Amino acid sequence: MRVLLVGSGAREHALAWGIARSPSLTELHAAPGNPGIASLGECHPVRASDGEGLLALAQTLSVDLVIIGPEAPLVAGVADALRRVGISVFGPSRAAARIEGSTTAATLAVARPPCVVKADGLAAGKGVFICRTAEELEAGLRGAAALGSATVIEELLEGPEVSLFALCDGTHAVPLGSAQDFKRAEDGDAGPNTGGMGAYSPVPWLDDADELVAQVHQPVLDELARRGTPFVGCLFAGLMVTEDGPRVLEFNARFGDPETQVLVPCLEGDLLAALASAARGDTETAPLRRSDLAAVTVVMTGPDYPASSDYTGAEILGVDKAESGGALVFEGGTASRNGRLITNGGRILSATGLGSTVAEARERAYQAVGTIEFTGARFRRDIAAGV
């Protein structure tokens, strides 16, 4: 099977790693990809947002399946353009991707703390502001307005958050597992929101994750199908576990980042066959199972992230050593220059450790982080602590 993977982040690198293990893969292509993905397949200089360029590339390569990683091309309708010419796509249509592209929750009439301020649109995981004081509310309103979209004011819920994923074929929702990510930039959940500083899976305190998929994801699939916009792809529910039970905070129309970096290594079965089956409308022909492994990933960023995502040119050392020690290193904001791996973004890479427990996986993830070096490197030291 010839595959085109769209995207260039650590999420796409993790997907590429899983896909490359499939016996049905004959060629792996990526647009635009990154140096880590280039070690697994061929990368092409076509931006993920370039719908016409992706269509031309997919036709030139005669690919059998396109897998779209990031949310922006999904919301822009790239999957629709590919399907119109008969190309099989793992990723929802533009109409179905509106579940992420526009906040759908009921809003509060008055902005008064405590509350949550959200940007109504794509914000790369940085459009949510928790406001417990008047000062935080003022800053949140400014921050949301700066993102250039409408602002939504919602009730502030209290409790731990969890990400729950399901593989969807338009009709059925198949559980892929749970993960908890760490959104704040600094230890102790301090600092601004980011796209994610780390994650672990599974979430041991979450009861009946598969049952939750039936309660949360399946009704959404049923409603989207009823509207004539069936959802094909990965449906990602962000939940908060409150005293009154789980509450849905948001839906996302794709795999999460950094959650994919801990989900994919814990799956058993043929990932590519499962994604291709979902794209054909039949998840039952290629089942995936969760292994008994636990995984922890720690994201290493540039010195000014999330204020800046343009940290470029610093040489990255120690990736080979981390991988030879048993870790998985998924590259995000990287580039290759004269044979050297350098920084090229905000979230530079994700170091993932595996183990029989979350604590064991955490130890191995931080061992890997300790071997990787680049000037200005930052990371949280409390990912999955105490789990």
User: Residue 102 domain-assigned?
Assistant: no
Q: Give just the sign of the alpha carbon dihedral 287, 239, 200, 89.
A: positive
Cα–Cα distance, 291 to 157 (Å, whole number): 32
- Count of CB atoms within 10 A of residue 216's CB? 19
State whether 263 and 209 are in the same domain. yes
pLDDT of residue 22: 96
pLDDT of residue 11: 98
- Whether 75 contacts 253, CB under 8 Å: yes
pLDDT of residue 105: 52
State whether 87 and 123 are in the same domain. no
pLDDT of residue 245: 83
pLDDT of residue 152: 83
pLDDT of residue 130: 84
State whether 322 and 230 are in the same domain. no
pLDDT of residue 127: 74
Please write the tens of the pLDDT for every residue from 73-90: 999 999 999 999 999 999
User: Residue 110 domain-assigned?
Assistant: no
State whether 336 and 298 are in the same domain. yes
State whether 355 and 263 are in the same domain. no
pLDDT of residue 287: 83
User: Residue 382 domain-assigned?
Assistant: no
* CA torsion, ordered 213, 214, 218, 220, to nearest 10 deg: -70
State whether 286 and 302 are in the same domain. no
State whether 15 and 128 are in the same domain. no
State whether 148 and 215 are in the same domain. no
pLDDT of residue 6: 98
Instruction: Please give the residue range of the domain that contains residue 210.
Output: 161-290
* CA torsion, ordered 148, 151, 156, 160, to nearest 10 deg: -40
The stretches in the chain having pLDDT less than 70 are 101-107, 109, 121-126, 149
pLDDT of residue 314: 98
pLDDT of residue 143: 86
State whether 147 and 178 are in the same domain. no
pLDDT of residue 76: 93
State whether 274 and 320 are in the same domain. no
User: Residue 376 domain-assigned?
Assistant: no
User: Residue 377 domain-assigned?
Assistant: no
pLDDT of residue 128: 80
